[in-house]
Structure formats: structure tokens, C-alpha cells
Chain A
């Protein structure tokens, strides 16, 4: 392996480390008083992306490998830029707000492109998955420490390293669980290794569940139930045998004591008890209506329609909305009806690619990552009814990092 390749792999490891552990630093405030926070991965990806560009230009090449989702991403970003420029031209949107919100969104795609272009071999993917397994486990140990010591650092419950917010923590662990557990189901489980090693890997892949429970987020907990349903639905679609059923039973058996342990040690986790649907979805639906729909989503939607006549066509620009509690509503207000449809073009492209990878691949790792990406995307769409997961930094960084890995594995040989 030459020096350049080692540097590329190291940069990916640093990037994963920064996403997993970096705290945020305040660097100023926007005109609406919102604090601008940056993380180590923001600085890192700027330099890495820049060096990749310089390297490409210096090489004298003119063509670059086209990553999957290239056009849907381009369309989504163009629609975003169109809405920002239009509203800047009409002086509807503050310069700083539009700039930083749009930049943040671009950054997620830079993560995706960077990972895709740097990962050329399946061994690199395996290495990165193993590293993520370790990084996730270290975060889980930190959560465990908070539970046992009673020294909690999260908004409601426990927090991931360098994080505080309830949703960023919960969704970060949820996405790690989705990707790592799917890789475990389709890849680690079928490896020719001892049962002890498999059990160890299984525990590590399943462990982010503790972070999900510890965050005490109602939204993330509901999404976790949805994720569990999807994961096993896809798993049974692919392999229906005694081993698969056993794993399913084991997961349920494992999840119950973990939940009761978290419930004993995180007092705020009591919040999720009210929405656990035992025989009916009514409590969950009522909770959504009371805490999200009537209080935030409906008034914001009405206020937006009243505030601007051109909203349905052009939108009010990226960063116009403070907190919409609904990704679809945010897209609609910021980009208008027509442009917000490009979000679905991107989402359907991701779902299509991951379904293709899931149903047609023969390699366990490719199937696991594809199933993970498919489940994660559907989970984020589900969460999007209650919050805006696609703009929350920590989970989005994990999502696009793994999307890059998945597409690199699915790359035609």
C-alpha cells in the first residue's frame, strides 16, 4: 500500500473519530441570535475536501468517477441554491442565515463524496466498519458510566461524547445501531469465526440501543421500534430460517433488560412509557398531536402561508425557519412546494439504490450496509414527521458517512 492510500484511510478514520467524539465550539452568533457552532469534523472535512480537489487538479486528470446519487444530490443542492439566491435577491432572507444553513447541508454531501472517492477496496470498508464498532462502543461505555455514576450530561438523560441535545444523541445512537446491527446480521453472523467472537461482535453492534434508551427521547424511541420492525422484516425477506428466528428472539430478550436497566438509571426515560403502544397506536398518536402537531407544526404552517404569497412557489430560503418540528414542513417553507419535491427525488434514489444493493448483492457486507442504509433512510423519513433529522449535524454526519461506505461497496467491480 502506498503512502497516499494510507493517508486517505487515516483521514477517513480521523473523520469518523471526529464525528463520534468531537464536541462543538461556539464561533459567533447569527443575526437571529442562534449560536454558530463548529466541530472538529467541520474543519477536517474542509481541509480534506480541499486537498482532494487540489490533488485532482494537480494530477492533470479531467474525469472523476461519478458517485451514485450524484444527480439527485445535484438537483437537491441546485434547488436549495435557487431558493437561497431568490430570497437574497428579494431581501427576504438574512445573508448569514442562508449562507450557513446552506453550507451545512453541502457539508453532508461532501462527507458522502469524500468517503465514496477515498474508499476503493472492500478491506477499507471492513476496517472502517470495525472502527465504527469500536467508536460506538466507547460512546456506549460513556453512557453506561453516566447511568451508573448518576452524573448525566444530556438534555434529559444521558448524552453521547461531546453532545448534549436529546435528539442528536438519540438519533446518533439509533443510526449507529441500524448500520452496525445490519452489518452484524448479514456479515458478521455468517463469518467463519468462533461463537464467542460472534457474541462479542453482536453485543458491540447491539450496544448503541443503550444510548437510544439513555437519551430519553420519545421520538427516537418510537423510531427504534420502527427500525426493529423494519430490520427483521428485511432480514426475514432475505433469510427465513431457524437461525434468523433465534436472533430475533434473542434481540427481544436482550432489549427488555437493557430498557429496564436504563429506566432504573435515567429518571427522564419515564417519558417514553406513556407512548409505548401495547395494543394500540392511540397514545403515540395523541402524544404526537399534543406535543408536536397542535403546538408547533400546525401554527407554523398557517403562519407561513399567511406571511408570504410566494411561499408555495419559491419558498423563503434555507435557514428561514428556526425549528419546524417537521422536515417536510421545513422543506416546504424554505424551498416552496415544487423545489421541496426534489427532496423526494433524492430520497427515492437512495431507497432505490439501497434496495438494489440489498436484493441483488451476494456479498454479506454489501447486503448489510444496503439494508442499513434502507432502514436508516426509512427511519429518518419516519422521524421527519416529528423533527428535522436531515439537518441535525451528528446523526446526519453518521448517515452520509455510511451512505458513502455503502455506495463504495456497491460500486461495480
Chain B
């Protein structure tokens, strides 16, 4: 193998860092020019970029407070699975807001909804609508739950009244009423529990917001634009070098 061929073979098999530095040095004008262009574009963008408006709203998701039958521990059955609310928001269950992002901080019953639009009024309007929709659905669920509990309580109270009448009747006849009294006692306990359950219904509510913040590109944007210019500059430098070396073959 002749020397030039051997050199070319080595070039194909190895990457020499010194070559990389040499090419970068040789083409420093291209690199610098594109770096400066990137920085200039970043500065231009920093001053002229249109404002975006980011709105945030934090909702506390409510539910039914219940005592576990086996464990006896209190647990909250949410009106809606919190981690799924985000997915439903995306799919448009609460209206068509594909840009709204919902986050559920770990081990909490909170949901943070973020939205960015080009106008403050639009952000405010959409977040208000999401809030109203979510809360109205949850309130409906809470109301229907309350109605069910009320119906159960009325039913039990009627039954207790009937049993009391039965007791008066049996006492007049001189018969035993202990079992009926025990049944009344149990029913009253049930009524108490249901009333507690009713008062323990945790309503969904707005914890914070909607807060709207104007978002403008920060100084970091200039830095990133500079880095972008540098990257494009390096790519252009290496491409120019490659083109020059392979001009004959092309």
C-alpha cells in the first residue's frame, strides 16, 4: 500500500482530535460568523418576541370520605381519578384544549393546570372555563351523592318510626321489645354514620388562580441562540472542509 493510500485508510478508521481542532481553527471565520449571527438573532428575538401568557390554576379535587370496612381507616374516594384528569383534558373531555397541561404533584389531591396562549384574555377565559367545567361535574357528583344519602336517611328514619309504633303496640300487649329496640339502635347508628358521611363530603375547589403571568424570552434565549449558532458553525466548518477535500471525487 502506498503512503497516501495508507494515510487515507487511517483517516477512515480513526478520528483524530487534533484534526478536529485543526479544522475548527482553519475555519474559525465561519464558526465565529455563525456564532455571532446566532447571538445577534438571540438579541433580536429577546427584544421583539411577542409575549405569551401562561396561566396556572390549582384545583383541590374532592371526594367522599369513607371508613374502610376491613381496616377502619379513613380513605378518600375522589370524584375523578386525579392522574386521569390530565389525559381527559388532553382528549377534550372538558372542551378542546390540547395545549392545557395538567400535573398532579405526588401524593396530593391537587391538580395544577397550565396553559400558554398569545393573549391574557384568552388564557384567563380558557382556564375559567376548565375550572367551571371540572367543578360543575364534581359538584353534580357531590349533589347526587348527597341525594342518595338523604334518601337512605329518610328511608331509615321512616323505618325507625314504624318500629317505634310497633314497640308501643307490643308494650300495650305486654310482650318483649328488646330485639326491636336493638334494631332501632343499629338503625340510628347507621343514620349517624350516613350524616357524618354527608358532612364529610369534600368539595372540589380552587386553591389558587387562575394566575396569569406574561412570559417573554429570558437572557437564556440569547445564550441558546449563541449555542445554536456555534453548533451550526461547527457543522458548516466541517462540511466545508469535507467538501473541499472531496471536490475532485464529487
Contact = CB atoms under 8 A, between A and B. Distances in A.
Contacts of A361: none
A62 interface: yes
Given A33-B103, A33-B105, A307-B99, A63 B228 contact: no
A32 interface: yes
A32 B101 contact: yes
Interface in B47-80: 49, 52
Given A78-B231, A78-B235, A82-B232, A88 B17 contact: no
Given A63-B14, A85-B224, A88-B224, A303 B215 contact: no
Contacts of B173: none
B31 interface: no
Interface string B91-111: 100000011011111100000
A82 B34 CA distance: 14
Contacts of B99: 307
A83 B33 CA distance: 20
Given A33-B105, A90-B221, A307-B98, A62 B16 contact: yes
A88 B14 contact: no
A82 B220 contact: no
A81 B231 contact: yes
Given A85-B227, A89-B221, A303-B98, A66 B14 contact: yes
A66 B228 contact: no
A123 interface: no
Contacts of A63: 14-18
The CB with the most chain A CB atoms within 10 A, among B215, B224, B228, is that of B224
Interface residues of B, number: 33
A332 B105 CA distance: 30
Interface residues of A, number: 26
B217 interface: yes
A88 B232 contact: no
Interface in A80-117: 81-82, 85-86, 88-91, 95
Contacts, number: 70
Nearest to A95: B220
The CB with the most chain B CB atoms within 10 A, among A33, A35, A307, A412, is that of A33
B17 A64 contact: yes
Given A78-B231, A81-B231, A85-B224, A91 B215 contact: yes
Contacts of B13: 65-66, 412
Nearest to B215: A91
A307 B13 CA distance: 45
B225 interface: yes
B105 A91 contact: no
Interface string B209-250: 000000101101100110110011001000000000000000
A78 B236 CA distance: 12
Contact of A65 (B14, B45, B101): B14
B63 to A, nearest CB: 20
Contacts of A307: 98-99
Interface in A291-311: 299, 303, 306-307
A307 B99 CA distance: 8
A35 B221 CA distance: 26
A88 B221 contact: yes
A32 B90 CA distance: 13
B217 A66 contact: no
Interface in A120-143: none
A91 B52 contact: yes
A129 to B, nearest CB: 25
Contacts of A299: 91
Contacts of B227: 85
B187 to A, nearest CB: 42
Interface in A2-58: 29, 31-33, 35
B98 A91 contact: no
A70 interface: yes
B127 interface: no
Contacts of A90: 45, 49, 217, 221
A79 to B, nearest CB: 10
B126 to A, nearest CB: 14
Nearest to A88: B224
A70 to B, nearest CB: 7
B178 interface: no
A85 B35 CA distance: 13
Contacts of B18: 62-63
B191 interface: no
The CB with the most chain B CB atoms within 10 A, among A32, A62, A70, A86, is that of A62
Contact of A85 (B17, B52, B231): B231
A90 B228 CA distance: 11
B231 A82 contact: yes
Contacts of B45: 89-90
Contacts of B231: 78, 81-82, 85
Contacts of A32: 101, 103
Contacts of B42: 89
- Smallest CB-CB A-B distances: 4 pairs: A33-B103, A89-B224, A85-B228, A88-B224
25 contacts: A29-B105, A32-B103, A33-B86, A62-B18, A63-B15, A64-B16, A64-B17, A65-B13, A66-B13, A78-B235, A81-B231, A82-B228, A85-B225, A85-B227, A86-B228, A88-B224, A89-B45, A89-B221, A90-B221, A91-B215, A91-B221, A303-B98, A306-B98, A307-B99, A412-B13
Given A33-B102, A91-B52, A306-B98, 14 more contacts: A29-B105, A31-B103, A33-B104, A63-B15, A63-B17, A64-B16, A65-B14, A66-B12, A70-B15, A85-B225, A85-B228, A86-B228, A90-B217, A299-B91
